[in-house]
Amino acid sequence: MIKRGAFLLVFAIGLSRASYSQEVAGIDPVKAYEMVRIPGVYLVDVRSIAEYVWVGHPDMAHNIPFAFWNEMKQGMDPNTRFLEDLKARFKPGDTLVFICRSGGRSLKAAQAARSAGFPKVLNVTEGFEGELDGQGHRTVGGWKNNGLPYTYKVDPELKYSKSLPEA
Number of domains in the chain: 1
Residue 9, pLDDT score? 43
In a domain? residue 96: yes
Question: What whole-number distance in Å separates Cα of residue 34 and Cα of residue 70?
Answer: 34
28 domain-assigned: yes
Q: Comparing 15-24, 38-47, 114-123, 153-162, which segment has the lowest mean pLDDT?
A: 15-24
**Can you give the pLDDT at residue 162?**
80
- What average pLDDT does the segment 98-112 reach? 97
Q: What HEC string does 112-164 produce?
A: HHHHCCCCCEEEECCCCCCEECCCCCEEECHHHHCCCCEECCCCCCCCCCCCC
* pLDDT confidence tier of residue 135, bands split at 50, 70 and 90: very high
- CA separation for the pair 89, 116 (Å, rounded): 14
Beta carbons of 64 and 78 less than 8 angstroms apart: no
- Which pLDDT score is estimated for 4? 53
Q: Pick the closest to residue 85 from 124, 54, 123, 46 (CA basis).
A: 46
CATH of the domain at 144: 3.40.250.10
Average pLDDT value for the chain: 88
Please state at what angle helix 104-115 crosses helix 82-89, rounded to 10 degrees.
Answer: 70
pLDDT digits (tens, 9 = 90+) for 67-96: 999 999 999 999 999 999 999 999 999 999
Predicted structure pTM score: 0.84
Which domain covers residue 24, as residue numbers?
4-151
Of the candidates 115, 103, 117, 114, the one whose C-alpha atom is nearest the C-alpha of residue 46 is 103
Over residues 10-38, the pLDDT tens digits come to 454 455 444 444 689 999 999 999 999 99
